[in-house]
Amino acid sequence: MQVKNFPERGFLVLPGFLPGPLVDRLVPEVDQWVDTGLRQLSIDACSLPEDAVPPRVELQMAAHAELAVYAPLLEVLQDESLLGHSFVFHHLHSDRRPPGGAGKSWHHDYEQHPQRDRALPMIHALHYLGGLQPGMGSLAVLPGSHNQIAKKDEMSALGTGFQPGEETIDDLPRGSTVILHSALFHTRRAARSPADAAPRYMVDASYCRTGAPWPPVKPYWRAVLAVGRTLEPARERWPELFSERHFSPYARHTIRRSA
């Protein structure tokens, strides 16, 4: 029923969606990504020319690569209420936020410059490896807001404050996934109590319906897709998943991170 309501509501909550063994392998990869500075290097590379590739991209980590082509996720996405039969991988971000981390103002993540329509859906799959609890910083969403044409930061002046009609997601078990229409306005609330909170692990994977060129989010997007094309599990069932032909030339825009 949640899937059928996705076009109207713009989000789908899948508690405990990822299998434990995959989560067990993802967590140390995220730790390595953050602690060794690889995450920061990947961000810094976004200010460099397109031929400058960071020393490593997320898809070169085994568990992250498995997550990007995780068949149960792609099977959900191919439902006609979400992306349908043909879609392309857009990007993957991985982060670990400390207890007591700050919030992030209301925003959406639909990649279109300028924002002009919602003819083709874009999806962000937010994988919360350790689940979600209030002390980690909750996710709040504004159901139906993906249907309005608005700039990403249209609601940023509201900070992380409560909005009429919002729904708060702050009680999810380990390995849960929240699927958002990328144009859905959402916010990350600040963690309440760092004394008893765990780090907030999230891997954000994004996919788009094919049919028009999508703007890349990273200057080294071709290198990322080239790694993706080496991932055997996706080749037969989703041959277009890492195809370059569904993207427009890269243009530099402000880098934004999801919830």
How far is the CA of 198 from the CAs of 39, 105, 132, 152, 231, in angstroms?
20, 22, 9, 29, 32
Residue-wise pLDDT tens digits, 241-253: 999 999 999 987 6
Res 254 pLDDT > 50: no
| 131-155 per-residue burial string, b: 16 or more CB within 10 A, e: under 16 | bbbebbbbbbbbebbbeeeeebebb
Residue 12 pairs in a beta bridge with: 179
Q: Give mean pLDDT, residues 228-252.
A: 89
- Predicted local confidence at residue 137, as pLDDT: 86
Q: Which of 39-53, 127-141, 202-216, 224-238 has the lowest mean pLDDT?
A: 224-238
Residue-wise pLDDT tens digits, 86-125: 999 999 999 999 888 889 999 999 999 999 999 999 999 9
pTM of the model: 0.95
Residue-wise pLDDT tens digits, 190-201: 887 665 678 999
Q: Give mean pLDDT, residues 61-85.
A: 96
Find out whether the peptide bond into 99 is cis, omega within 30 degrees of 0: no
| 197-210 per-residue burial string, b: 16 or more CB within 10 A, e: under 16 | bebbbbbbbbbbbb
**CA 130, CA 31: separation in Å to the nearest integer?**
13
**CA 174, CA 201: separation in Å to the nearest integer?**
10
pLDDT-above-70 percentage for the chain: 95
Res 212 pLDDT > 70: yes
- Predicted local confidence at residue 256, as pLDDT: 46
- Predicted local confidence at residue 235, as pLDDT: 75
Report strand pairing: 186-188 vs 139-141: antiparallel
